[in-house]
Every structure is written in structure tokens, then in C-alpha cells.
Amino acid sequence: MNRSARRLSIAAVIVAAAIVLSGCTSLFLPQKTTSTPTNESVPADLAPYYHQTLKWTPCNGAFQCSTATVPLDWSKPSGSTIHLALIRHLATGHKLGSLLVNPGGPGASGFDFVRDSLNFAVDKTLQANYDIVGFDPRGDNHSSAVKCYTNPKTLDAFIFDIPKGVMGSDEWIANEEKEVKAFGADCLHYTGALLGQVDTVSAARDLDVLRAALGDKKLNYLGYSYGTLLGQTYANLYPKKTGRLVLDGVVDPQVSADQLTEYQAKGFEDELQKFVEECPTMSGCPFTGSVASSMAEIGSLLDSLDKSPLRNKDGRELGAETMFTAIITPLYNVDNWPALVDLFTTVMHGDPSYAFQIADQYYERNSTTGKYTDNSYEAFNAINCLDYPSNTNIAYMRAEAVKIDKVAPVIGHLMAYGDVFCDGWPFKAAEKPGPLPAVGSAPILVIGTTGDPATPYVMAQHVATVLQNGRLVTYHGDGHTAYNKGTATAAERCVNSTVDNFFVKDTVPKTDVDCK
């Protein structure tokens, strides 16, 4: 995928599932306390990490905050260290343990997710029975973080500037490689050695330290989107230490970056077509023809933005790439489809401002100040480039672009050539796709949504089969992820009760669960 859309190439962030997330309030004000580590037997060079005492202090009204220490390089645990930021909401009822939550990304802030959107992260049942713990994995936001710039306009230029040349041409590829190489050099300059140590395997090892430091003999974990890959990695490394694990919006670790891009291209194109079918029933819909003609109209709009970008009041130009980001963001959640009506209407009238508002929210950029509220874009790319090998053979990339265009003829071309990005990165991939069966683990719930554009259902089906003790929960619906979406439908209630009973009552489905 090109620069501005690259963040979608592996697994989209759960916090993008809603244009506006609800916050949470509480009258509870926790007092300063400490966690008692498990003090389990570990090698001497790991003892300082596993046996550390977490000191919690009140923060953000209803929460407690703490910091954990882990090795910078897990192959050299006696060397330099980094810190991980933690936030927790104490159980309001009978405590069963800690529940660590990861919202996805990679690069999304679990700290902010729990702090700002506790009721969206988990329901009241889990809040009553668990200390809900949000954490920023290595490289993310409040933890020791990837940093690539000092002036936000530098990142603006990298994300939003219109690339030179026709996508896929020799000129375009050469220019992209040059830009990415410069960006990667800046990331290395400002981040240092950490940039090469933010892979998912290292993050999973950190997760085991957090489990022990919190005092839990087994890990209880809820992972959304990319968080499912982190959860699978943990379970494969530490199968005997798995407690209750739930994976929602599943990434298949055996799927390559190019294969996943193809899956996602088809997924988002299918959801866009569903929107177009529904649009005439919505107020102000700008599409009045057939589904085919409306999809063609969207394709023509993207082509026109490539040729004649629309200039925003802040000087940024709306090209097809940024418009693509603005289109797919509301497609994560059916409730946000009305935003697509406003998006297409305003852009068709020559006004790019609303498109940039949506894109800014996706990139965690404050449209008013021009500042980025976290480092999710930088962390996303740093983690993905370590997790997924790239193939920059030009003939190969062009062949992949043809495949993507066939499954998604309207938007697919804007998701091609993602391998260009990591080719210019300072560190090559440390991992490669492969099965993670987690042999000997406790049962793991694998939730798949039939109409999920970002992590297509087929991946959940495959992961549930590969995991030795996987249990598939199928949610018949649209949107990214399924748990805690609401209780209005029988399918939603089915997913919620299955997850809650698993976490609270240790009820393991005897067979796969079909929520309709």
C-alpha cells in the first residue's frame, strides 16, 4: 500500500471502528497501592523483570497508572531496558484477576483505549469481575515509543503529499523508495535501537512479564484486530500460562502482507458496495443510479482526484489516496455509514474539508492544531516492517497489483505496492508468516464477523482450526469486531454472553458458536 494508506495493510485499529467513542466516568477514586508479583521461578537475568513490584497511583479520576520495566532486547536481558505504560480500572465486584486488553493496530494505545473508552472496550460484567488493564506495547505512545519527527508538518508531508508519477511506474516507485528511506532514517535518528526491537514476538514476551508482575499465574486477555496476533503469539510462546483468551477480529499469522492486502481490498470493496446499495434509503444520498453505476461514479471520483486534487484551507491537497482513507474509515462500522453520505456529498461539491476531518481522525491528528495526538502511524509501520517480509521485485509487485485490482476494481489499486514501504526501512523483518497452534494451551475463543472488511471472516475460520484448542464464535453481521457492539440483536447478545460466560464462569463452548 502507498504511504498514506499503508496503515491499513496489516490490521486496522479497533478504535477506528467508531467515528466517536464514548468515554466513561466513575465516582471511584483508587488509592495508591502495589501489585504483588507471582515470584515464579525464572532465570536469574529475567528475575528483575518478572519479580518487579508495580506501584499504582491514582490517575484520570477513575483509574490507577503504573510503569513496568522490560528488556530493550530480549536476547540480551541484562542490557538496556525500556518502560511500558499501564492503566487499570479496579474490579467493581468479586475480582477474578486482571484482564489485559489490546485494541489493535499495531500501534494503537491500549492505555488510551481503556482510559477514554472503558465501556467500549469491555462491558459491565467484565468490569465487575476483573481489573481491566490497558497497556501500550513497546514502541507505542506512553511506553518507550517510536519517534520519527519533531515538526508535525514533516509527518503531514509524508502522509498527505501527492506522490510524484503514476502509481506503479518506475518514476513513482523510485520516488516512494526515496521518501520512505528518508522517513526511516529519521525514525532511526529519533528512536535509536528501539526501532529494531518492536516486533510482536518481543511484545508477547513483555506481556508475560506484565502477567507475572500483576500477580496472575495465568494470562487473561482480550485482543482486538492486531491484538489477536499478539494474543496468538503469546499463546504459542507460553501455552501453559494461558488463562482465558479471547481474540476478536482475527489476523491469521500464516497470511502474508500481500495476501492480507488482497483480503482487505475485497472486504472494503464489498462493504462499500453494501453502502451503495443502502445509500438511497439514507437522507441526502448523492447516488441515484444503479449499484454498478454508483460504484463506477466513485471510481471516477477517485480518478479525478488523482488528476486534480482539491486544496483544503490548511494547504493540504485531497488526492485519491487520502480520499481512500476517508472512505474506508466509516466502513469499519455500519453505524458510521451516514458519514459516507456527507463525505461523498461534500467532495462531489468540491469541498475537501470533511474528508480531511475523517482522515485526521484515522491518523490521530488534531485538525485544529495540526498536531498528532499519538505515535500510532509511526509505531504501526515500525512493527509491521519487523513482522512481515517484503518483496520489492517490480514484476512481482505489479503482478500483485493486478490481483488486487481484480478483486476490488474501484479501490483496489490504492492498496497496491505496500512492499515499497518496508524496503526502505532501517531494519529488515525479524519474523515471517507461519502457524501458531499454541499446543497445550487452555481453550481460546476466536471471534469472526462474516462482514468484517479489515480482518475477513475466513481468517477467523482458519485460526480456530490451527489453534489446538480454538473455539470459533461466528457473528453474522457487518463491521470490524463483534464483542460489545450492543445488545439490540440476538446475534449481539449471543456474542456478548458467550464471551462473558467464558471469562466469568469459565464456560467453554463444546462446539463452535453460531450467532445469528
Confidence of residue 423 (pLDDT cuts 50, 70, 90): confident
User: pLDDT > 70: what percent of the chain?
Assistant: 94
H/E element, 203: helix 200-214
Question: Alpha-carbon distance 3 to 417, whole Å?
Answer: 10
Q: What is the mean pLDDT of residues 10-19?
A: 42
Bridge partners for 71 per DSSP: 81
What letter represents residue 425's amino acid?
A: W
Tally the C-alpha atoms within 13 A of residue 100's C-alpha that lie toward its C-beta: 32
pTM for the model: 0.94
Confidence of residue 208 (pLDDT cuts 50, 70, 90): very high
Question: Alpha-carbon distance 68 to 84, whole Å?
Answer: 5
Q: Is the peptide bond before 71 cis (omega within 30 degrees of 0)?
A: no
Confidence of residue 474 (pLDDT cuts 50, 70, 90): very high
Question: Alpha-carbon distance 9 to 415, whole Å?
Answer: 8
Q: What is the mean pLDDT of residues 7-21?
A: 41
Give the pLDDT of residue 7: 37
| Cell numbers at 502, concatenated | 467464558
Contact 463, 252 (CB under 8 A): yes
Quick check: 35 pLDDT over 50? yes
Question: Alpha-carbon distance 183 to 199, whole Å?
Answer: 19
User: In a 3-state reduction of DSSP, which class is residue 9?
Assistant: coil
Give the pLDDT of residue 237: 98
CA-based nearest residue to 112, from 191, 23, 199: 23
Domain layout of the chain by residue ranges: 1-216+256-432
| Residue 216 neighbours by CB under 8 Å, 6+ apart | 38, 97, 98, 243
Bridge partners for 59 per DSSP: 63
- Residue the block writes with cell 486477555: 221
- Rg of the chain over all Cα atoms, to the nearest angstrom: 22
| Residue 338 neighbours by CB under 8 Å, 6+ apart | 282, 283
Contact 134, 88 (CB under 8 A): yes
Give the pLDDT of residue 431: 87
H/E element, 450: strand 444-451
Write down the mean pLDDT value for the chain: 93
Tally the C-alpha atoms within 13 A of residue 409's C-alpha that lie toward its C-beta: 6
H/E element, 82: strand 81-89
Cβ count within 10 A of residue 153: 10
Quick check: 198 pLDDT over 50? yes
Q: What is the mean pLDDT of residues 208-227?
A: 98
Intra-chain end-to-end CA distance of the chain, in Å: 34
| Cell numbers at 461, concatenated | 475460520
Quick check: 9 pLDDT over 80? no
What does the pLDDT look like over 301-319, one tens digit per residue?
A: 999 999 999 999 999 999 9
Contact 294, 287 (CB under 8 A): yes
Confidence of residue 342 (pLDDT cuts 50, 70, 90): very high
What does the pLDDT look like over 485-514, one tens digit per residue?
A: 999 999 999 999 999 999 999 999 999 999
Tell me whether strands 130-135 and 97-102 are parallel, antiparallel or unpaired.
parallel
Question: Alpha-carbon distance 496 to 482, whole Å?
Answer: 8
Q: What is the mean pLDDT of residues 373-392?
A: 95
Contact 111, 80 (CB under 8 A): no
CA-based nearest residue to 108, from 360, 375, 328: 375
Q: What is the mean pLDDT of residues 344-361?
A: 98
Tally the C-alpha atoms within 13 A of residue 49's C-alpha that lie toward its C-beta: 27
Question: Alpha-carbon distance 404 to 154, whole Å?
Answer: 30
Give the pLDDT of residue 256: 93
Question: Alpha-carbon distance 93 to 212, whole Å?
Answer: 22
What does the pLDDT look like over 145-184, one tens digit per residue?
A: 999 999 999 999 999 999 889 999 999 999 999 999 999 9
| Cell numbers at 319, concatenated | 488526492
- Distances, alpha carbon 136 to alpha carbons 84, 106, 152, 232, in Å: 6, 10, 22, 18
Q: What is the mean pLDDT of residues 356-377?
A: 96
What letter represents residue 351's amino acid?
A: D
Contact 415, 264 (CB under 8 A): yes
Quick check: 278 pLDDT over 50? yes
Give the pLDDT of residue 22: 34
What does the pLDDT look like over 36-56, one tens digit per residue?
A: 999 999 999 999 999 999 999
Question: Alpha-carbon distance 59 to 52, whole Å?
Answer: 21
User: In a 3-state reduction of DSSP, which class is residue 220?
Assistant: strand
Quick check: 515 pLDDT over 70? yes
Quick check: 14 pLDDT over 90? no
| Residue 330 neighbours by CB under 8 Å, 6+ apart | 19, 336, 337, 339, 340, 343, 358
